[in-house]
Structure 1
Amino acid sequence: MSVLIGLVRHGSHDDLGTWLSGRTRDIALNPAGRDETAALARRLAGRGVTAIATSPRRRTVETAAILGQGLGLAPVPAEALDEIDFGAWSGARFADLDADPAWQHWNAARGTAPTPGGETMAAAVARAVAHLDGLAAQGGGPVLCVSHCDVIRGVLAHALGLPLDNILRFEIAPASISWVMAHGQGSFHVLTLNGNDQRTDDERSADCTGS
């Protein structure tokens, strides 16, 4: 079986570009983040979304709640969609991390570089992909998965067959949605990235099958 999945990054918050929020700074959405998420909910109305799963961080839970309110759905927490465990880096200022050779190595070699006491990029991607595989096994209508920038980047890199070292070559903006068709066993088709197109679900599915 297959299922259409919308990978949604949480909305904007005041840490963006300044702090590595990680799992330490459990920050809320700011007004811009709430507004952009509400706009996404309006765009998704009538698209047949049947379920919303969310990372347990406050910023993702709030994003999922706004989407759920707009779509008439109760979000369900999913630990597999959680932010990367950055270990000792979590909650640090980017300005401080930029001088750390280990941080520089992490950003140059995401496929192999470790985090200080946290998890690897590959481990984070593996748990997220396993969750999407589980959704594919269930089948059904479109599902939204609310997660974090690098987790979504990693899943998309996996789906596209790209090395994890290259995930910083594309952006995943706050409150953006990337649509994938999940077929199970780690098999995906990427339909849209970092946005929200206006086609119907059937049209996206046709793209996936080549019909």
Structure 2
Amino acid sequence: MTTTFFLVRHAAHDRLGRVLCGRMPGVTLGREGRAQAEALAGRLAGEGLAAVYASPLERAQETAAPVAARTGLAVGTLPALNEIDFGAWAGRDFDALHGDPAWTGWNRARHVTRPPGGETALEAQGRLLRGLEELRHRHGEARLALVSHADVIKLAIVHALGLGPEAMARFEVGPASVSVLVLGEWGAKVESLNERAFLGMDA
């Protein structure tokens, strides 16, 4: 018995690439992001989804809504899919963070470095993997769409590949991308990575 997870990064918002949003409230999709979300809905419409889950954050919920609507499903909120808790760094510009020694340490050793007031990558990975296992036991042989965040999806991928969190920087998970992960009693495998459902858009 295997469960197939379509790991979807939320679509684009106006702070993308400029601000470490983390779990700050009020970060919603822009015009481009809404178009990307609709394209994702078209991409996943024929996949026979049994359920759609999303991180509690607005940008993930807004990305999941068209996917669920196209397939006649409701969006389930799953805290395990939430963004990494960046603590005091949430809402800061990346330009400002680049001068912070703690930020440099985080990027060099995320598995053991804790953002001020936040969680380590290993802690985030642990709650994510527990969430995936719970879904696997709940749904069994099924295909599920999970809308989450770039680093969280990367943590699932590196685990499936037998790599540590430090390998997260070796590949890209772009806005509104789909990566496919399959879980079974035998373990995990990655079927696709960073697939884009949209054309002619600048992510």
Q: TM-score range by the shorter chain?
A: over 0.9
Could you tell me how far 1:137 is from its partner in structure 2? 1.5
Q: Which residue of 2 aligns with 1:66?
A: 66
Pick the structure with more strand per residue. Answer: 2
Quick one: percent identity of the two aligned structures?
43
Whether the 8 Å contact between 1:18 and 1:94 is mirrored in structure 2 is yes
1:75 aligns with 2:75: yes
For 2:101, the equivalent position in structure 1 comes to 101
Report the number of matched residues: 196
- TM-score, normalising length from structure 1? 0.89
* Pair 105,184 (structure 1): closer, same or farther in 2 beyond 3 Å: farther
Q: Name the CA distance, whole Å, in 1 between partners of 2:196 and 2:170.
A: 20
Alignment of 1:50-199 (within 5 A): 50-138=50-138, 139-183=140-184, 187-195=187-195
Cα displacement string for residues 29-70 of structure 1 (whole angstroms, at most 9, x for unaligned residues):
011111111111112122101100110000001011121112
**AA aligned opposite 1:176:** S
- CA shift for structure 1 position 2: 2.1
In 1, the alpha carbon distance for the partners of 2:64 and 2:44 equals: 13
Q: Where does structure 1 differ by over 6 angstroms across 4 or more consecutive aligned residues?
A: none
Shift of 1:25: 4.2
In the alignment, is the contact (CA less than 8 A) between 2:2 and 2:182 conserved in 1?
yes
Unaligned runs of 5+ in 1: 198-211
- What is the aligned partner in structure 2 of residue 49 from structure 1? 49
Q: Partners of 1:101 and 1:13 in 2: how far apart?
A: 28
- Cα distance between partner residues in 1 of 2:60 and 2:135: 19
Name the residue aligned to 1:5.
5
How far does residue 107 in structure 1 lie from its aligned partner after superposition?
A: 0.8
Q: Residue type matched to 1:107 in 2?
A: N
Gaps of 5+ in 2: 198-203
For residues 196 and 50 of structure 1, the distance between their equivalents in structure 2, rounded to whole angstroms, comes to 22
Contact preservation (8 Å) 1:34, 1:66: no
1:3 Cα offset (Å): 0.5
Q: Counterpart of 1:12 in structure 2: which amino acid?
A: A
Tell me what 2:201 maps to. Answer: none
**Deviation, structure 1 residue 26:** 2.8
> Is 1:39 aligned to residue 42 of structure 2?
no
